[in-house]
């Protein structure tokens, strides 16, 4: 069953922006520890991994434009997610402005994350996609402002120098970036505790809300007989029902029942009102909103929340409260001073009306969030910080990093943007997609979060190789999905397959974009000496920022080039695949990628034009509009130009390279670049098939050598 993703969202750390139904729209599920390799990301993340019990692990291919006849895909789906481990008490910034303990978060909750726009990261609302807990050694990170962060060693924070892990790992060039004292973390600054909603807070809230936006009192109107009638009335009309429901509930606690109705006023937005005409109830309301002689701290917090809901606004990073009553303005200033908020008053004269005074809260986002958290206004839209840049004057310098000396239950989440705001700092947490539709799953987020592995792959492969009619032909590992998924580090499905192929001296080509392939260098080097192995590494871009957007959890370009160099040095024939080539996005890097790969020692090169089969058209279009809105139409126009007017061309012979002038230009550029680097642009190293030694079939008679 596919995951339900509401709407379209930016999932940094995920390629897809949505989870559309598969075109064909049950198994045992186990939780495993996932992991990155080398510098790429943290070690553990709980991933949904399901066994796929296929009758055969070898897939045959007769497509004329695919350079292999047999392939094995150890995994279906492609997920290389990040890990976010922190104490369950860690407060997380929710999309409605308040905070919630990390342990209490649920999949589907809306929180804040960040995305990069231009030179800065900006706050955006995102969704919690998954939530779980682990037990692991804990560390305490203490900041200059006194904030203490309890996290796992693989947790990452956003610093003034990029993402950094809590602790280091590896050495030399392969060592991952890690926190040190005096690093500056980025974020909003420490969160404040909410003032308790006691009877004083409620009275203060009702005072601010009613004095700011209600009508209350005695009114007279003329009668037809010339006399006058007097009525007593209380009415509160608002566009935002959150504040109205809060007020109605708290009035009811004071035995003041009101009638709710749709209020018809000259407004572009629908308004709802509560009302009572009972003299006794109106008098009770007037008693509730009377100014106290010595307001308590709770009353003042409630008053600020109420007057903000009634007369406040927040936009463009500016928090304002408007009113024409000097007494209310003074009460606002007094309450702000109680909580040590700095503010200023602006006077705005109005023609033929009273002067409007505007109280403006100073101190930037950190103080605005402190106001929201401490006072707790009811109207969530007025607490929206979306679009603001991630920069703050908060004192977030790292003072100390120390192990706690014990394992703790820590909580992880996966988010749409790949990060979240906790304790006032920012924490971090492919063409094969259509194949997930065969499993009744979506090619979107499901493809990245629901993995299947070939159960008993090695044993099944041996059985197939042992069949009397089997003809040895090179097998390609990773034709559809990457064979070095992060879970491969634990599951070792790919390695078990390579061990069978090495033992039977069967030729193999491995296609990957991950540096984990170096783990199996012993097997590959041994096979390469007999002409039995070759490796192709895809490099999409040398631009780290484009790589993060296009392949958010794959190895960095530098890590892939280092892997190519290591493989070449060990004698394993290597090639580079410039794939996918996206016009007006990464095609200008073709020559640079080929030059860098040639320097790393590759022997051959290839390229594949971006393909958009089935549901991938929608996913790519969404991704393009999100990350490159100004270029989106131009990119799609060039794709259609090379695909005969369509987004995708499934025809053999043209689907990999395209047609038309632009496609011809790419072919010529690729050919000339390969000539300059001395790389063959057609064909790869021929693999030997004559050394194949079929494994003994189960139950077969042993051969007696009488020679």
Rounded to 5 degrees, φ, ψ at 459 are -65, -40
Q: 10 Å Cβ neighbour count for 494?
A: 28
CATH code assigned at 322: 3.10.28.10
Inform me whether the pLDDT recorded for 81 exceeds 60. Answer: no
Single residue among 361, 383, 405 that ends a domain in this structure: 383
Q: 10 Å Cβ neighbour count for 7?
A: 7
Nearest-angstrom CA–CA distance, 338 and 336: 5
Predicted confidence at residue 652, as pLDDT, reads 67
Single residue among 374, 407, 428 that ends a domain in this structure: 428
Is the residue at 641 inside a domain? yes
Instruction: Give the pLDDT band of residue 294 (cuts 50, 70, 90).
Output: very high
CA 666 to chain centre: 33
Report the percent of the chain where pLDDT is more than 70: 81
CATH code assigned at 122: 2.170.16.10
Q: 57 to each of 74, 415, 433, 461, 477, how far by Cα in Å?
A: 8, 34, 19, 6, 11
Domain co-membership, 374 together with 416: no
471 token code pair: 């003809």
Domain co-membership, 256 together with 125: no
Domain co-membership, 540 together with 640: yes
Domain co-membership, 108 together with 134: yes
Domain co-membership, 423 together with 557: no
Inform me whether the pLDDT recorded for 362 exceeds 80. Answer: yes
Nearest-angstrom CA–CA distance, 112 and 134: 23
Q: 10 Å Cβ neighbour count for 119?
A: 6
Single residue among 428, 450, 482 that ends a domain in this structure: 428
Would you say the pTM of this structure is higher than 0.75?
Answer: no
Closest by CA to 552, choosing from 478, 696, 448, 425, is 448
* Number of domains observed in the structure of the chain: 3
Report the percent of the chain where pLDDT is more than 90: 54
Predicted confidence at residue 565, as pLDDT, reads 96
Tens of pLDDT, residues 305-315: 999 999 999 99
Is the residue at 184 inside a domain? no
Domain co-membership, 64 together with 151: no
Closest by CA to 303, choosing from 211, 215, 368, is 211
Is the residue at 99 inside a domain? yes
Nearest-angstrom CA–CA distance, 533 and 527: 6
H, E, C per residue of 471-527: CCCCEEECCCCCCCCCCHHHHCHHHHHHHHHHHCCCCEEEEECCHHHHHHHHHHHHH
Q: Residue 7 — left, alpha, or beta (φ > 0 → left; ψ -120 to 50 → alpha)?
A: left
580 token code pair: 């996918």
Nearest-angstrom CA–CA distance, 306 and 375: 9
Is the residue at 350 inside a domain? yes
Parallel, antiparallel or unpaired: strands 604-609 and 574-581: parallel
Which of 20-24, 38-42, 201-205, 404-408 is the least confident region? Answer: 38-42
Sheet holding 318-323, edge to edge: 312-315, 318-323, 356-361, 343-348
Inform me whether the pLDDT recorded for 6 exceeds 60. Answer: no
Is the residue at 706 inside a domain? no
Domain co-membership, 346 together with 423: no
Instruction: Give the pLDDT band of residue 45 (cuts 50, 70, 90).
Output: very low
Q: How many CA atoms lie within 13 A of 118 on its CB side?
A: 6
Domain co-membership, 504 together with 580: yes
Domain co-membership, 540 together with 621: yes
Nearest-angstrom CA–CA distance, 513 and 559: 9
Confirm if 572 and 528 have CB atoms less than 8 A apart. Answer: yes
Inform me whether the pLDDT recorded for 427 exceeds 70. Answer: yes
- Could you list the residue range(s) of the whole structural domain that residue 224 is in? 199-383
**H helices, E strands: number in the chain:** 17, 30
Is the residue at 26 inside a domain? no
CATH code assigned at 635: 3.80.30.30
Choice between 452 and 56, residue whose per-residue pLDDT is larger: 56
Closest by CA to 190, choosing from 158, 142, 127, is 142
Whole-number CA gyration radius for the chain:
32
Nearest-angstrom CA–CA distance, 685 and 355: 83
Is the residue at 451 inside a domain? no
CA 69 to chain centre: 37
Q: What is the mean pLDDT of residues 541-557?
A: 84
Predicted confidence at residue 693, as pLDDT, reads 95
Cα-Cα-Cα-Cα dihedral of 209, 215, 216, 222, to 10°?
180
Domain co-membership, 143 together with 228: no
Q: 10 Å Cβ neighbour count for 683?
A: 10
Tens of pLDDT, residues 472-523: 999 999 877 788 877 788 889 999 999 999 999 999 999 998 899 999 999 9
Is the residue at 647 inside a domain? yes
Domain co-membership, 489 together with 606: yes
Inform me whether the pLDDT recorded for 129 exceeds 70. Answer: yes
Average pLDDT along the chain: 83
Tens of pLDDT, residues 235-279: 999 999 999 999 999 999 999 999 999 887 666 678 899 999 999
Rounded to 5 degrees, φ, ψ at 689 are -110, -5
Nearest-angstrom CA–CA distance, 227 and 25: 74
The angle formed by the CA atoms of residues 525, 526 and 527, to the nearest 5 degrees, is 90
Q: How many CA atoms lie within 13 A of 54 on its CB side?
A: 20
Choose from 387-391, 408-412, 547-551 the range with maximum mean pLDDT: 387-391
Nearest-angstrom CA–CA distance, 594 and 638: 23
Domain co-membership, 251 together with 347: yes
Nearest-angstrom CA–CA distance, 208 and 250: 13
Closest by CA to 449, choosing from 485, 488, 410, is 485
Predicted confidence at residue 435, as pLDDT, reads 44
Strand, helix or coil for residue 342: coil
Confirm if 554 and 564 have CB atoms less than 8 A apart. Answer: no
Nearest-angstrom CA–CA distance, 471 and 696: 15
Inform me whether the pLDDT recorded for 432 exceeds 60. Answer: no
């Amino acid at each position: 069953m596919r995951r339900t993703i509401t709407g379209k969202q930016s999932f940094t750390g995920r390629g897809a922006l949505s989870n559309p139904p598969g075109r064909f729209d049950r198994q045992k599920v186990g939780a495993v520890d996932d992991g990155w390799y080398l510098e790429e990301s943290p070690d553990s993340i709980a991933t949904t991994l399901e066994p796929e019990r296929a009758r055969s692990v070898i897939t045959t291919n007769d497509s004329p434009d695919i350079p292999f006849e047999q392939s094995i895909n150890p995994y279906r789906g492609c997920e290389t997610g990040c890990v976010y481990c922190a104490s369950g008490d860690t407060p997380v910034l929710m999309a409605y402005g308040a905070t919630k303990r990390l342990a209490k978060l649920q999949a589907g909750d809306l929180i804040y994350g960040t995305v990069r726009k231009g030179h800065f990261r900006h706050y955006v609302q995102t969704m919690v996609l998954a939530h779980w807990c682990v037990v692991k050694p804990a560390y305490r990170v203490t900041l200059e402002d006194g904030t203490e962060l309890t996290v796992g060693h693989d947790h990452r924070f956003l610093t003034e120098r990029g993402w950094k892990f809590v602790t280091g790992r590896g050495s030399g060039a392969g060592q991952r970036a890690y926190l040190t004292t005096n690093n500056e973390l980025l974020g909003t600054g420490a969160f404040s505790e909410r003032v308790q909603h006691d009877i004083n807070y409620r009275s203060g809230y009702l005072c601010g809300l009613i004095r700011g936006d209600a009508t209350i009192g005695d009114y007279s109107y003329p009668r037809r007989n010339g006399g006058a009638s007097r009525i007593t009335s209380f009415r509160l009309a608002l566009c935002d029902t959150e504040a109205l429901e809060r007020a109605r509930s708290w009035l009811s606690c004071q035995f003041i029942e009101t009638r709710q109705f749709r209020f018809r006023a000259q407004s572009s937005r629908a308004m709802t009102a509560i009302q009572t005409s009972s003299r006794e109830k109106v008098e009770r309301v007037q008693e509730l909103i009377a100014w106290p002689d010595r307001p308590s701290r709770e009353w003042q917090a409630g008053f600020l929340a109420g007057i903000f809901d009634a007369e406040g606004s927040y936009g463009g990073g500016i928090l304002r409260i408007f009113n024409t009553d000097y007494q209310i303005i003074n009460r606002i200033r007094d309450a702000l001073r109680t909580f040590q908020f700095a503010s200023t008053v602006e006077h705005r004269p109005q023609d033929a009306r009273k002067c409007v005074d505007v109280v403006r809260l100073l101190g930037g986002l950190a103080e605005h969030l402190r106001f929201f958290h401490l006072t707790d206004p009811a109207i969530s839209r007025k607490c929206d910080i979306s679009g603001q840049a991630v920069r703050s004057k908060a004192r977030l310098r790292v003072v100390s990093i120390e192990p706690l000396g014990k394992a703790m239950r820590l909580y992880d989440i996966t988010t749409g943007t790949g990060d979240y705001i906790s304790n006032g700092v920012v924490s971090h947490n492919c063409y094969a997609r259509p194949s997930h539709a065969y499993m009744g799953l979506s090619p979107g987020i499901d493809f990245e979060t629901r993995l299947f592995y070939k159960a008993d792959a090695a044993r099944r492969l041996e059985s197939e190789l042992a069949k009397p009619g089997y003809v040895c032909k090179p097998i390609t590992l990773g034709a559809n999905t990457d064979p070095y998924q992060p879970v491969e580090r634990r599951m070792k499905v790919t390695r078990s397959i390579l061990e069978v192929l090495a033992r039977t001296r069967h030729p193999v080509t491995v296609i990957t974009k991950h540096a984990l392939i170096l783990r199996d260098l012993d097997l590959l080097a041994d096979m390469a000496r007999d002409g039995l192995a070759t490796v192709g590494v895809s490099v999409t871009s040398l631009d780290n920022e484009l790589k993060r957007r296009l392949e958010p959890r794959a190895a960095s370009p530098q890590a892939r080039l280092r892997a190519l160099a290591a493989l070449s040095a060990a004698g394993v024939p290597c090639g580079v695949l410039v794939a996918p080539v996206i016009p007006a996005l990464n095609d200008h890097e073709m020559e640079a990628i080929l030059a860098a790969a040639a320097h790393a020692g590759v022997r051959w090169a290839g390229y594949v034009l971006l393909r958009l089969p089935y549901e991938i058209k929608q996913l790519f279009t969404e991704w393009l509009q999100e990350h490159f809105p100004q270029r989106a139409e131009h990119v799609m126009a060039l794709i259609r130009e090379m695909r005969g007017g369509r987004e995708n061309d499934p025809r053999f012979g043209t689907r990999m390279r395209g047609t038309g002038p632009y496609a011809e230009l790419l072919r010529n550029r690729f050919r000339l670049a390969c000539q300059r680097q001395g790389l063959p642009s057609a064909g790869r190293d021929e693999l030997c098939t004559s050394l194949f030694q079929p494994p003994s079939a189960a139950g077969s008679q042993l051969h007696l050598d009488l020679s």
